Amino acid sequence: MQRQKSKWWGLLSGLAVVTVVLAGCGRSAPEAETEMEAEVETIDLTEQMEIFEPGAVAPAVVEEIAPETVRARVGEIEVTQAEANEQVAKLLQRVGDQVPPERLAQVRQQMQQQVLDGLIMRAVLRAAIAAENITVEPEEVSARLEELTANFPEGMTLADFLASNNLDEAEVRSELATSIQAEKLIESKVGPEAPATEEAVRAFYDENIEQFEMPEMVTARHILIAFDEDDDEEARAAKRAQIEALREQLVAGADFSALAQEHSVCPSKQQGGSLGEFGRGQMVPEFDAAAFAQPVGEVGEVVETQYGYHLILVDEKEDARKVPFEEASERIGAMLGRQERQEAFQAYIEGLREGVEYDPAP
């Protein structure tokens, strides 16, 4: 019923982000318990290398800039157009087949500016790392590499990832080392994250009380026998008979997850038909009405929607409520602490940027 996007890998230098689009018939349960938490995400210092303000170097058509052109200088470090061209070429190799031909030039231009900003930001951080003599041990790099590979999609190895993205392990390890050094640099300059004061937490809660109003929610699974565009009345009747037979099996004690995996055509079948947690209005009206009306633990009557015939099993229900201060305070404190640290980080980066000499393209 919906599509979700899940970001699973950001190249450490901030030069690429691979997005996996997962098709689904419902959405997974949100990790954040309030809108506040959904809006303010955990700060990842490796990704903060991307905060360099776009446009510091004037955009220009890539072909009009000579490769040897120095676009910026950070002390003795020079950022050239050739470096940017190389990185853009690698990005296009990875994602070019996902871009319509008529948009390729526009996408390449956008990549060019983002890549250039990322290269300059990396140069700024490397210059600061060298000035502070911050080192990293091989064991630290190996440990970080293991963490990252653990988050690869199931079945993907490091070798697969390197091959599909035109990378080699030495390049990845080099970027990881720089990332770890950048984290150490920031830690030394802005300090560890600290929770906000109780007064600040209480003030945020009182001033944003509407964000802690939780709507009625259900957690449910379903089995979908889908309609086809060319289905006539006879075809639909056969599908109705099929799903009614499945319901009889479930009422007699059959395992819902097993039947969902075997018969449902929704991608949620891989999770036994689970749609996670959702609130009113997030599903099509017929499905929504049935899910919120059904008793927990009972398989309801067949529900017809624009997608086909559904069997729904509600696993849990939560009434609408207001999250009490005591329950929300720890998360609010951590969030405000992250915000304060981010502001300190940004101020530090602004200071580093003062040493950049820009050479705008002709």
pLDDT digits (tens, 9 = 90+) for 303-347: 999 999 999 999 999 999 999 999 999 999 989 988 888 888 888
pLDDT of residue 296: 95
Question: How far is it, in rounded angstroms, from Cα 132 to Cα 195?
Answer: 28
Pick one of 1.20.58, 1.10.4030, 2.60.40, 2.40.128 as the CATH number of 2-191+335-358.
1.10.4030
For residue 189, give the nearest of 348, 47, 336, 355 by alpha carbon: 348
Question: How far is it, in rounded angstroms, from Cα 120 to Cα 50?
Answer: 10
Q: Per the structure block, which two tokens stand in for 201?
A: 């937490």
Q: Which residues contact 70 (CB under 8 A, 6 or more apart)?
A: 78, 79, 80, 81, 359
For residue 312, give the nearest of 29, 4, 24, 25 by alpha carbon: 25
Question: Across residues 9-16, what is the average pLDDT?
Answer: 32
Q: Say if residue 228's pLDDT is above 80.
A: yes
Question: Across residues 136-155, what is the average pLDDT?
Answer: 90
Task: Give the domain ranges of the chain.
Answer: 2-191+335-358, 216-319
pLDDT of residue 93: 76
Assess contact for 287 and 312: CB atoms under 8 A. Answer: yes
pLDDT digits (tens, 9 = 90+) for 113-145: 888 888 888 888 888 888 899 999 999 999 999
Instruction: Report the share of the chain in percent with pLDDT over 70.
Output: 80
Cα 293-296-298 angle, rounded to 5 deg: 90
Question: Across residues 271-300, what is the average pLDDT?
Answer: 93
What CATH class does 216-319 carry? Answer: alpha beta
pLDDT of residue 360: 57
Alpha carbon of 95 to those of 17, 111, 113, 164, 170: distances in Å? 10, 11, 17, 10, 22
Question: How far is it, in rounded angstroms, from Cα 92 to Cα 111?
Answer: 9
Count CA within 13 A, CB hemisphere, residue 274.
11
Count of C-beta atoms within a 10 Å radius of residue 260: 25
63 versus 150: the higher-pLDDT residue is: 150
Q: Say if residue 8's pLDDT is above 50.
A: no
